[in-house]
Chains A and B, each alone.
Chain A
Amino acid sequence: MKGNLDGFSGSTEHPTAAVLVIGGGISGMQSALDLANAGIKVYLVESSPAIGGKMAQLDKTFPTNDCSMCIVSPKLVEVGRHRNIDLFTHSEVKGLTGEPGHFTATVVRHARYVDIKACTGCGLCEIVCPVTQISHFPALPAEGEKKTRARAKEKSIIKGPGLPRPVTSHKWTFSVETTACGMCGGCHKACLHGAVSWEKKQVAVIDQEKCTGCGACFLACPDKFKAIAIADAPDLDKSLGAAVQARSQLLKKEFAGTEQKDCIRCGLCAVTCDKVMNIGALKMVEEGIEAGVDICQVCGACASVCPVNFLSIDQVTNKTPRPLLNSFNEGLNGRKPINIHYPQAVPRVPVIDEKSCVRLNTGACGICGSLCGVGAIHYDHREEETEIAIGSVIFSPGIEVFDAGRRGEFGYGLYKNVVTSIEFERLLSASGPTSGTVSRPGDSKHPKKIAWIQCVGSRDHSCDRDYCSSVCCMYATKEAFIAREHDASIEPTIFYIDMRSFGKNFDNYVTRAKDHKVRFIRAMVSRIFEDPVTGDLELRYVDGSGERQAETFDLVVLSVGIQVPQKAKELAGKLEIDLDRYGFVVTDGYQPLATSRPGIFVSGAVKGPKDIPETVCEASAAAEAASASLAAARGSLITAEALPPERQILPGEELRIGVFICHCGTNIASVVDVEKVVEYAKTLPGVAYAEHPLYTCSQDSQERMREIITEHRLNRVVVSACSPTTHEPLFMSTLRQAGLNKYFFDMANIRDQCSWVHPDDPGLATEKSKRLTRMAVANATAGEPLQEMEFTVDSKLLVVGGGLAGMTAALEAARQGFGVYLVEREPQLGGQLLHLQRSNDGRRFVDFLADLKEKVLHNDKIRVFTSSEVVEQSGFVGSFETEIVMPTGGTRTLKHGAILVATGAEEYRPEIHGLGWLDTVMTQTDLEAELEKEPKPQWQKLRVAMLQCAGSRDAEHLPYCSRICCNQAVKNGRRMKTLYPEARIDVLYRDMRCYGLSELDYAAARREGVNFIRYDPEENPVTITAMESGIDISVIDPSIRTEVRLKPDILVLSTGMKPRDAEELASMLRVPRNDAGFFIEAHAKLRPVDLPSEGLYMAGTAHGPKSSSETIVQAQAAVARAVTLLSRKSMKMSGVVSVVDPTNCAVCLTCVRACPYGVPFINDQHSAEINPALCQGCGICVAECPAKTIHLGRYDDRNIRAKIESYSGT
């Protein structure tokens, strides 16, 4: 296997500095951002219509209970807006040719039928599309044949409780065009109201007094005459379908809340079926609606346009309707053929589904195209093939969930109230099908008792899913936890085998869940019985004491495992990369991101099940691995934005404010009278210009805004539109492009906070919009130009700690082209790895370590300082100074742009069970060392007991799980069995946490005869007496429910890992560590290798216990993050930073204490000072300062006061 550490063979002198990232989930997005921010061009290919992947579907994330969408959407926006990321959504990679450094990929963009550039994402098309079902389209006529309509043979009349009650509201005017009339009398016969008078050979005449506007005459008039004209129909100029929708919407509003059960004979259903869908299966008759049930195409349009829900789709057809299901919501609700993948999708552009769209299949309908305000819909789109040149590839297509139907005993698919965990995520989600109400799919009742069944499609040989899916224990705990947050009366129960909460802070989370009344039962459910009357579910299981139990629940959630989708396997085949029997990408533990094909790297759960932080970490690492050999060409394919010089606003210059009130299609304008708001805005002081664009954010509107700023010499801009979170950066960059300081801007949210929440009160909503706009204008008036400080970045990296993480990081940073200082406290490099023997695949660490040291010591970009320690640290991101003490006692100052902390961890050695004074008691590491020595004949029949969690998960010792000990015990147990087959090994464990693919090793150990006995420190404690005379252990083995006594020759303690002393370093760097002494990441989920202060990163066991392979990944990830900084020549900080006005500073130290980042200090002028480069702009010091002498850019008192005053004023 050729890997990332050795670089590529072949010529890479002028590699293509671009990377193809396959898959737009959290993994692909992180890789893309880290690459693009480090000067590498990115092509991101995603098969679904929008990026976001599985993470976008989740409700909350463990162990912090952060909202998944809230934390992922800034990433979505950043990827979507990044000028060096080319996004290919709804696209696929078809092939790859060439060599590392010079690949050519063929990418197919599937026809989307909506122009991504033109579309503004308003969603109107989705609202007006009337199709809700998978249609049975009529056969297209053979070539040359004329299209004929089928005639109904089977008819059914749909009646209400009473006769139709015709209404004339919003009625269209029908009239006969005298010249076109064929005098056939069809209209006269069709009219149910006697409004059409006709006599033979005479032109028909419609009596407008009698006409109810149902359009029966219009439908009856033969196509060859087309003599009935329609007038007074809004939107008829766009299309008839558009007019139908317009009238339907008006009638729906009128009838909202009324109990109308009878047909109102508006005629919209029949008009739609005949003239829009070109079917003609519906006809208005005396009693109601006559349906030609055999010719109905089951599209659902008639039922959609019916204003009073008189029609339902199953009444008009003899076929079984098949509703279109929303795949993002796991099929729990419906969708239209034109569909935006999810509300926060990037790009927020719909796709038309070729299988269900009427227009694409029969040529009829076309409502969306006629109504789209920006002309973005193109029914003639075809798929396009593109060839792109890249240097390397990252394969991160993601995973899918196991098909729960394969575990038939749980009745998934048959029992309505049995759902999968991902479906449950959607039920919990506020933007999900139930708007976050936990209800049963069977009957919408609120469930009280909910059961989770773990390991459905995990750790299961019977369905070829032998591996552990790693995430289910935690997500089930989270779902149970959150369900109770939604409804405190819910009683959750989780049925599990082993609780695998092996990650950082996971055990604490499970404990909190237990405190929140989440019940955990260690049992596997054998079968579910559904009560056919109530839909309740009876679960059968055997409890810990061996008793059979049956318990009834309202809802059952199957914790489905994860698997590699068939499509991903096929793609891997095309890319010629090796997969294991389950479809996971095969990698080498020492080069964990390199696939079998040089130049293709892998990240995410397709390499083995993993959670979000590990995926994010791997994604950064893959970005590093994929770009290291392209470093020579860094920056050659990216583009920088060219900006005009900023116009200086002179003091006293006349205020000229431009105000843009957005329609947002109909999102705002259908409720708020935008023209009135514009008129009002024009009256506000300082407003020089105001207008109301249809979509302020669209490409052409932005062009126009730039022109208007110049033309009207505007010096402030206000936009009243949607959310600043998503759109403010766009508008601000437009200001800057027009030569205006971008902080001369403010935004009012009159959509999310006005039109969307007040649709029923347009008048007051318009007033509120005026007021919000007024406040924004006041704030903009108070605005000041802010300068973004620019400073140069030192391109060197300081790595603290020379273990596996530190050495890997140093080498990788050097490969990326940056100078490295590697500081190690001990006399020699190697760290904890010096004490370990073999990796999980059996290779000796000593060879690997020797090679690694050799490379580090001989790399001319790396300066190694052994026996040296950091003693002082100053500076800020991009420009740090660190003082180290060398073995000579002398100090030396190192200048560098970033810091990587890799101080590591060591084995914990508690004085328990005779460890330290008995030769027969040792740790796993000791045993590993013993197994490397000469074979000992006396060990042939050795009796070994291994005690897991010896000093781990124990309040008196290490309170946390050390993650690696279970795998280490399995590894040593198996090695023992290989060397001494007759040895007896008993592993005493609490939960075997062999996560991911290491479950396979655990299963192999059991097969090979290693014996596992479960204990529980509270309910089933182990009694151990370890003396010089011998070791005596007794415990109850729950699998045989009998006490067993062991008299092992040796006792091996799995003692866990504790961090090395880094307290002084942490306080020098001002970065936090947790109670156990591990460094705390900037964000537990999405910034797993960043420390909270800018420019500081970490890797390896300093972050938390992990394996050697995971350490290598993290080291590469941390380098990727550092490179996004080091590769820049200079940096700009945000203009929004705190500034102390020294005149009023009382040196009270309030700001020094309040700042969470430790930035303010007292300078030699006896005043507080805030380094703008370090300030995060959070504003805490501004609020706390008793003298009110700290100011913060746009959020100054002046701004807030201006807003408040304008709120109350008129």
Chain B
Amino acid sequence: MKLSYYPGCSLEGTALDYDRSVRDVCRALDIDLLEIPDWNCCGASSAHMTDHEIGMRLPIRNLLLAAEIGCDILVPCAACYQRLKAADKALRTDPGFWDVARFSGDFQIVHISSFLARPEILAAIEARVIRNLADLPIACYYGCLSLRNPRVTDAPRWEMPTTLESIVAAIGARPVAWSHRTECCSGSLTMARPDISEKLVGDIVRAAKRAGATAMVTDCPMCQANVESRQPAVEGVGDMPVFFVTELIEAAMSGTYPSKQQRAHLVPPGVLTGIFSASTMKKEGPA
């Protein structure tokens, strides 16, 4: 299988390890990722807040580049996904308005979790797991941008998604039932209004703990950075690591959780390290 790949800026910065795990997981699953050549900013963050035109033209350029490859585009970052979808919808409705002569649009923009939760991909992952996550109670956290607004994202269950749950269940973790899965993490306010961020992150982490989770998993680089980085300032929380979904898949499929990856976390990922130090190899030799 071949997919175009749009990493976006986060995956070249704060979420460098996310980018690496996405590529590694895809490689293991025999999926060729063709990085869109000369891709540019997706138009999220400052662009679309400042100027609607810029906010649209930036992702449109990316789409036109991707159109030349013609494959579906895999997008790990929730914000990038949202902007590319918005541009895609605009081009499909009226390409002429954006000075585009023709837009065939015969490729899809695919968000990472809905891609990995496809039954055939899930089965491939399950088959390659060599060390399962030993019933790790984990809170699946989606945040907002990959789901809402549903008219842009086309998410079928934008209030009650289940993709992360089915992925982590396939690698042997135990998704907990909790209610803050799509709450706002305040990623866009984390610099400007840390007071708000601390409150919202506190609410989310406390809710995850109450549900019995010892870790969180997400597919959004902003959520991951924000929920981990704001925890130390909030009383009573601070020990809830937030994993990328591909990070967990890679660990389960490789059977190792390297110390380099452990150091990428601001909250120590002790719960996962613990599992990998214990003997939970699925395909062990004769004892």
A845 at the interface (CB under 8 A from B): no
A408 at the interface (CB under 8 A from B): yes
Q: Which residues on B sit within 8 Å (CB–CB) of A650?
A: none
Question: A788 to nearest B CB, angstroms?
Answer: 63
Q: Knowing A532-B176, A532-B178 touch, does A408 contact B157 (C-beta < 8 A)?
A: yes
Asked whether, in the complex, the Cβ of B179 is within 8 Å of the Cβ of A408, the reply is no
A414 at the interface (CB under 8 A from B): yes
From B159, B177, B212, A530 is in contact (CB under 8 Å) with: B177
Asked whether, in the complex, the Cβ of A532 is within 8 Å of the Cβ of B160, the reply is no
Asked whether, in the complex, the Cβ of B159 is within 8 Å of the Cβ of A409, the reply is yes
Question: B207 to nearest A CB, angstroms?
Answer: 7
A982 to B236, CA, bound (A): 60
Question: B196 to nearest A CB, angstroms?
Answer: 14
Question: B137 to nearest A CB, angstroms?
Answer: 11
Q: Knowing A411-B179, A414-B177 touch, does A529 contact B207 (C-beta < 8 A)?
A: yes
12 further interface pairs, Cβ-Cβ under 8 Å (given A532-B176, A532-B210, A532-B211)? A407-B159, A408-B157, A408-B158, A408-B159, A408-B160, A414-B177, A529-B179, A529-B180, A531-B210, A532-B177, A532-B178, A533-B211
Question: B189 to nearest A CB, angstroms?
Answer: 17
Query: In chain B between 189 and 217, which residues have their CB closer than 8 angstroms to a CB of chain A?
Result: 207, 210-212
- Please, could you name 30 A-B residue pairs with CB atoms under 8 Å apart, sorted by A? A405-B160, A407-B159, A408-B157, A408-B158, A408-B159, A408-B160, A411-B160, A413-B160, A414-B160, A414-B177, A415-B179, A528-B179, A529-B179, A529-B180, A529-B207, A530-B177, A530-B178, A530-B179, A531-B179, A531-B210, A532-B176, A532-B177, A532-B178, A532-B179, A532-B210, A532-B211, A532-B212, A533-B210, A533-B211, A538-B179
A538 to B179, CA, bound (A): 10
Question: A939 to nearest B CB, angstroms?
Answer: 40
A409 to B157, CA, bound (A): 10
A414 to B210, CA, bound (A): 17
Question: A766 to nearest B CB, angstroms?
Answer: 53
Nearest 5 interchain pairs by C-beta: A408-B159, A532-B211, A529-B179, A408-B160, A409-B159
Size of A's binding interface in residues, CB under 8 A:
15
- Residue in B159, B207, B211, B212 whose Cβ sees the most chain A Cβ within 10 Å: B159
Residue in chain A with minimal CB distance to B211? A532
A546 to B75, CA, bound (A): 39
A415 to B179, CA, bound (A): 9
A407 to B179, CA, bound (A): 15
A529 to B179, CA, bound (A): 5
A411 to B177, CA, bound (A): 11
Q: Which residues on B sit within 8 Å (CB–CB) of A409?
A: 159
Query: In chain A between 1180 and 1199, which residues have their CB closer than 8 angstroms to a CB of chain B?
Result: none
Q: Which residues on A sit within 8 Å (CB–CB) of B210?
A: 531-533
A1007 to B178, CA, bound (A): 39
Question: A326 to nearest B CB, angstroms?
Answer: 25
A408 to B150, CA, bound (A): 12
A408 to B178, CA, bound (A): 14
Write out, one digit per residue, whether chain A residues 386-407 have a CB within 8 A of any chain B CB (1) or not (0).
Answer: 0000000000000000000101
Q: Which residues on B sit within 8 Å (CB–CB) of A530?
A: 177-179
Write out, one digit per residue, whether chain B residues 159-199 have a CB within 8 A of any chain A CB (1) or not (0).
Answer: 11000000000000000111110000000000000000000
Question: A1178 to nearest B CB, angstroms?
Answer: 56
Q: Which residues on A sit within 8 Å (CB–CB) of B157?
A: 408
Question: B284 to nearest A CB, angstroms?
Answer: 21
Q: Which residues on B sit within 8 Å (CB–CB) of A529?
A: 179-180, 207
Q: Which residues on B sit within 8 Å (CB–CB) of A531?
A: 179, 210
Q: Which residues on A sit within 8 Å (CB–CB) of B178?
A: 530, 532
Q: Which residues on B sit within 8 Å (CB–CB) of A407?
A: 159
A532 to B160, CA, bound (A): 15
Question: A829 to nearest B CB, angstroms?
Answer: 54
Query: In chain A between 432 and 446, which residues have their CB closer than 8 angstroms to a CB of chain B?
Result: none
A530 to B210, CA, bound (A): 11
Write out, one digit per residue, whether chain B residues 125-169 have a CB within 8 A of any chain A CB (1) or not (0).
Answer: 000000000000000000000000000000001111000000000
Query: In chain A between 1067 and 1112, which residues have their CB closer than 8 angstroms to a CB of chain B?
Result: none
- Residue in A408, A411, A530, A538 whose Cβ sees the most chain B Cβ within 10 Å: A408
Q: Which residues on B sit within 8 Å (CB–CB) of A528?
A: 179
Q: Which residues on A sit within 8 Å (CB–CB) of B177?
A: 414, 530, 532
Residue in chain A with minimal CB distance to B147? A408
Write out, one digit per residue, whether chain A residues 763-783 have a CB within 8 A of any chain B CB (1) or not (0).
Answer: 000000000000000000000
A538 to B203, CA, bound (A): 13
Q: Which residues on A sit within 8 Å (CB–CB) of B176?
A: 532
A528 to B180, CA, bound (A): 10
A407 to B157, CA, bound (A): 9
Query: In chain A between 359 and 416, which residues have their CB closer than 8 angstroms to a CB of chain B?
Result: 405, 407-409, 411, 413-415
Q: Which residues on B sit within 8 Å (CB–CB) of A413?
A: 160
A918 to B180, CA, bound (A): 59
A408 to B156, CA, bound (A): 10
Residue in chain B with minimal CB distance to A405? B160
Question: A407 to nearest B CB, angstroms?
Answer: 8
Residue in chain B with minimal CB distance to A531? B210
A413 to B178, CA, bound (A): 14
Q: Which residues on B sit within 8 Å (CB–CB) of A414?
A: 160, 177
Question: A349 to nearest B CB, angstroms?
Answer: 40
A409 to B159, CA, bound (A): 5
Write out, one digit per residue, whether chain A residues 511-553 have a CB within 8 A of any chain B CB (1) or not (0).
Answer: 0000000000000000011111100001000000000000000
Query: In chain A between 922 and 958, which residues have their CB closer than 8 angstroms to a CB of chain B?
Result: none
Query: In chain B between 29 and 64, which residues have their CB closer than 8 angstroms to a CB of chain A?
Result: none
Residue in chain B with minimal CB distance to A462? B150
A855 to B267, CA, bound (A): 86
A413 to B160, CA, bound (A): 10
Question: B70 to nearest A CB, angstroms?
Answer: 34
Question: A258 to nearest B CB, angstroms?
Answer: 36
Q: Which residues on B sit within 8 Å (CB–CB) of A408?
A: 157-160
A532 to B174, CA, bound (A): 14
Question: B218 to nearest A CB, angstroms?
Answer: 18
Residue in chain B with minimal CB distance to A528? B179
A533 to B158, CA, bound (A): 24
Write out, one digit per residue, whether chain A residues 406-428 have a CB within 8 A of any chain B CB (1) or not (0).
Answer: 01110101110000000000000
Question: A540 to nearest B CB, angstroms?
Answer: 11
Residue in chain A with minimal CB distance to B150? A462
A528 to B182, CA, bound (A): 12
Question: B172 to nearest A CB, angstroms?
Answer: 18
Residue in chain A with minimal CB distance to B162? A414
Query: In chain A between 588 and 647, which residues have their CB closer than 8 angstroms to a CB of chain B?
Result: none
A538 to B207, CA, bound (A): 12
Query: In chain B between 205 and 235, which residues have their CB closer than 8 angstroms to a CB of chain A?
Result: 207, 210-212
Residue in chain B with minimal CB distance to A533? B210
Question: A462 to nearest B CB, angstroms?
Answer: 9
A1175 to B284, CA, bound (A): 91
Question: B78 to nearest A CB, angstroms?
Answer: 18
- Residue in B179, B180, B211 whose Cβ sees the most chain A Cβ within 10 Å: B179
Residue in chain B with minimal CB distance to A416? B177
A245 to B176, CA, bound (A): 42
Residue in chain B with minimal CB distance to A534? B210
A563 to B115, CA, bound (A): 34
A528 to B179, CA, bound (A): 8
Residue in chain B with minimal CB distance to A411? B160
A407 to B160, CA, bound (A): 9
Q: Which residues on A sit within 8 Å (CB–CB) of B179?
A: 411, 415, 528-532, 538
Question: A646 to nearest B CB, angstroms?
Answer: 69
A538 to B211, CA, bound (A): 15
Question: A59 to nearest B CB, angstroms?
Answer: 29
- Residue in A409, A415, A532, A538 whose Cβ sees the most chain B Cβ within 10 Å: A532
Q: Which residues on A sit within 8 Å (CB–CB) of B159?
A: 407-409
A62 to B174, CA, bound (A): 46
Residue in chain B with minimal CB distance to A529? B179
Q: Which residues on A sit within 8 Å (CB–CB) of B158?
A: 408
Q: Which residues on B sit within 8 Å (CB–CB) of A405?
A: 160
A532 to B181, CA, bound (A): 13
Q: Which residues on B sit within 8 Å (CB–CB) of A533?
A: 210-211
